[in-house]
Amino acid sequence: MDKKTVLVTGGAGYIGSHTIIELLNTNKYEVISADAFFNSSPRAYTQIEEITGKKIKQYEINLCDKKKAERIFLENRIDSLIHFAAFKAVGESVEQPLKYYHNNMESLINMISLCNQYGVANFIFSSSCSVYGNVEKLPVDENTPIPQAESPYAHTKQIGETLLQHVCKQHPAFNAVALRYFNPVGAHHSAKIGEWALNKPNNLVPLITGTAIGKYNLTVFGNDYPTRDGTCIRDYIHVSDIAQAHVLAVHYLLDKKNTSNFEPFNLGTGAGVSVLEAIAAFEKVSGKKLNYKIGARRPGDVIAVYSNSSKAFNLLGWSCKHDINSMMKTAWDWELYSKNRTD
Ligand SMILES: NC(=O)c1ccc[n+]([C@@H]2O[C@H](COP(=O)([O-])OP(=O)(O)OC[C@H]3O[C@@H](n4cnc5c(N)ncnc54)[C@H](O)[C@@H]3O)[C@@H](O)[C@H]2O)c1
C-alpha cells in the first residue's frame, strides 16, 4: 500500500517532534517537516531518527515566506498537513503583539492557501485551551462559549479557527480539525526527546524539573485560592498522548469520518491537578525533595481549568495513556538527559 504523506510544520518543536515519532511508528506515513528553528534545533531530527530508525525529509524555511514555502508543495505530493508552527509564549505576546500576529497569522494563511492551491484536502491546526479564556463552568467542552481573548497569543488561535471555518465553508473539499490542547507536559519515554525551549519556560513542569537541578527557583503563585489545597488547578496532559491524537485526526480526515468540514476537539485528561499535587508527584517519582517558595497570587491566573474530552474519545477513538506520575517521570528523565546540552 502506498504511504500517505504528511507535512508537519514546526516539526522540530516540542509537540511536532513527538507527533512525527508517532506518525512514523504507524508505518503508514511519509513525513516531511518544515521548521525555521526559531524555538528548536535541527537536533530534534537526529533524535527522531535515533528513536524510530527513520530519517525524514526536512525543510528549513520560515513559513511566513510564501514563495519559499511553496517549494515544499512543488516538490512533494502532500495528503495532510499538521500546522504546529507558531510562537507560543503568552507573556511575550502581550509585550510584542505584532510579532505574534505576524508570525502566527502569516504562516497559517500561507499554509491554508498553499493547501488550496495544491489540492491538499486535510488540515490539522494546533489550537489551545487559551481560546476559552477565563471559564466559569467546568469542565470545558467544545460548546463552552469563546469569549474575547485574554492575550494576543490566544487571539491568534481564535482567529486561526475562525479563518479555517470560513475557508472550509467556501471550499467544501477542504477539511480541517482544530485540536485545543490543555497543558502539554512530559517527554518521550526514551528520554531522548522532550521540550527543548531556547528561552526560560513559563510553564510549571519544566520549572519544577529545572528547579530540581538548580537551574531555576520555583515560586508557587498563591496558596489561598478556593481549591482543595489552595493552589491553581490545570489539566496537564502527556505530550505523547497529544501526539497520538494527531495521528488519529489524520486517520479521521483521510478516512473521511468527519461529518462537518471544520471540527474542534479538546485534548485534556479531564482530571485537574493542583500545583502542589504536581510537585508531590514529582517528588514521588524522582525521590527528590523540591525547594520552592510560596508567593503572592499572579495577576491573570485562572483558579481552575480542565477539559471534557469526550468528543475526541467518541469520534477520534482517543484516550490518554499517561497519568501525572508518568508525565513527571518522563519530564524528569528528559531533564537529566538534556541538562548538559548546549545547542
Ligand atoms: N506547548 C504548549 O503548552 C501548547 C499549548 C497549546 C497549544 N500549543 C500550540 O502547539 C503548537 C506547537 O507548540 P510547541 O509547544 O511544540 O511549540 P514549539 O515552540 O516547541 O514548536 C513550534 C515550532 O514552530 C517553529 N516555527 C514557529 N514559527 C515558524 C515559522 N514562521 N516558520 C517555520 N517554523 C516556525 C519553531 O521553530 C518551533 O520549532 C503551537 O502552535 C502552539 O501554539 C502549544
Contact 160, 111 (CB under 8 A): no
Q: What does the pLDDT read at residue 232?
A: 95
The stretch 58-79 carries a mean pLDDT of: 98
Q: Which of 29, 100, 153, 252 is catalytic?
A: 153
* Cβ of 31 less than 6 Å from ligand 1: no
Query: Which atom of ligand 1 is found nearest the CA of 87?
Result: 27
The angle, 0 to 180 degrees and rounded to 10, between the axes of the packed helices 275-286 and 204-212 is: 40
- Which band of pLDDT confidence, cut at 50, 70 and 90, is reported for residue 196? confident
Instruction: Give the C-alpha separation, 85 to 155, whole Å.
Output: 16
Is 59 annotated as catalytic?
no
Calculate how far, in angstroms, residue 239's C-alpha sits from the geometric centre of ligand 1. Answer: 13
Q: What does the pLDDT read at residue 119?
A: 98
* Cβ of 84 less than 6 Å from ligand 1: yes
| DSSP E strand boundaries for 210-275 | 218-221, 233-234, 236-238, 262-267, 273-274
Cell matching residue 124: 490539522
The stretch 129-133 carries a mean pLDDT of: 94
Assign 113 to helix, strand or coil.
helix
Q: What does the pLDDT read at residue 253?
A: 98
The stretch 263-280 carries a mean pLDDT of: 97
* Cβ of 41 less than 6 Å from ligand 1: no
* Cβ of 107 less than 6 Å from ligand 1: yes
Q: Which of 70, 106, 126 to mutate to test the pocket of ligand 1 (most atoms within 8 A of CB)?
A: 126
Residue 63 clears pLDDT 80, i.e. is over it: yes
Q: What is the pLDDT of residues 32-42, one digit of tens each?
A: 999 999 999 99
What does pTM read for this prediction? 0.97
* Cβ of 105 less than 6 Å from ligand 1: no
Q: Which of 37, 39, 67 to mutate to test the pocket of ligand 1 (most atoms within 8 A of CB)?
A: 39
- Which band of pLDDT confidence, cut at 50, 70 and 90, is reported for residue 340? confident
Residue 200 clears pLDDT 90, i.e. is over it: no
For the chain, how many residues are written? 343
One-character DSSP codes across 242-254: HHHHHHHHHHHHH
Q: Which of 8, 41, 62, 84 to mutate to test the pocket of ligand 1 (most atoms within 8 A of CB)?
A: 84
Q: What is the mean pLDDT of the chain?
A: 96
Instruction: Give the C-alpha separation, 238 to 23, whole Å.
Output: 16
Domains along the chain?
4-185+236-268 (3.40.50.720)
Contact 36, 16 (CB under 8 A): no
Contact 13, 43 (CB under 8 A): no
Instruction: Give the C-alpha separation, 72 to 58, whole Å.
Output: 9
Q: What is the pLDDT of residues 167-187, one digit of tens each?
A: 999 999 999 999 999 999 999
Pairing of strands 175-181, 183-185: unpaired
Instruction: Give the C-alpha separation, 247 to 25, whole Å.
Output: 10
Calculate how far, in angstroms, residue 226's C-alpha sits from the geometric centre of ligand 1. Answer: 33
Pairing of strands 292-295, 262-267: unpaired
Phi, psi of 330 (to 5 degrees): -70, -35
Instruction: Give the C-alpha separation, 31 to 54, whole Å.
Output: 10
* Cβ of 64 less than 6 Å from ligand 1: yes
Calculate how far, in angstroms, residue 227's C-alpha sits from the geometric centre of ligand 1. Answer: 31
Residue percentage of the chain with pLDDT more than 70: 99
* Cβ of 63 less than 6 Å from ligand 1: yes
Calculate how far, in angstroms, residue 84's C-alpha sits from the geometric centre of ligand 1. Answer: 5
Instruction: Give the C-alpha separation, 60 to 38, whole Å.
Output: 10
Which protein residue has the closest C-alpha to ligand 1 atom 7? Answer: 128
Calculate how far, in angstroms, residue 167's C-alpha sits from the geometric centre of ligand 1. Answer: 22
Residue 97 clears pLDDT 80, i.e. is over it: yes
* Cβ of 14 less than 6 Å from ligand 1: yes
* Cβ of 15 less than 6 Å from ligand 1: yes
Residue 267 clears pLDDT 90, i.e. is over it: yes
* Cβ of 103 less than 6 Å from ligand 1: yes
The stretch 298-322 carries a mean pLDDT of: 93
Query: Which atom of ligand 1 is found nearest the CA of 195?
Result: 20
Residue 300 clears pLDDT 90, i.e. is over it: no
Nearest CA to 115 among 189, 188, 174? 174
Cell matching residue 216: 531555576
- Location of C-alpha cell 509537540: 15
CA 301 to each of CA 30, 110, 220: distance values in angstroms, whole numbers, following the listed order: 41, 33, 12
Calculate how far, in angstroms, residue 67's C-alpha sits from the geometric centre of ligand 1. Answer: 21
Residues sharing a CB contact under 8 Å with residue 29, sequence separation 6 or more, in sequence order: 3, 4, 5, 6, 23, 250
Cell matching residue 297: 497570587
- Location of C-alpha cell 541538562: 339
Longest dimension (CA), the chain: 59
Neighbouring-strand partners of residue 179: 126, 265
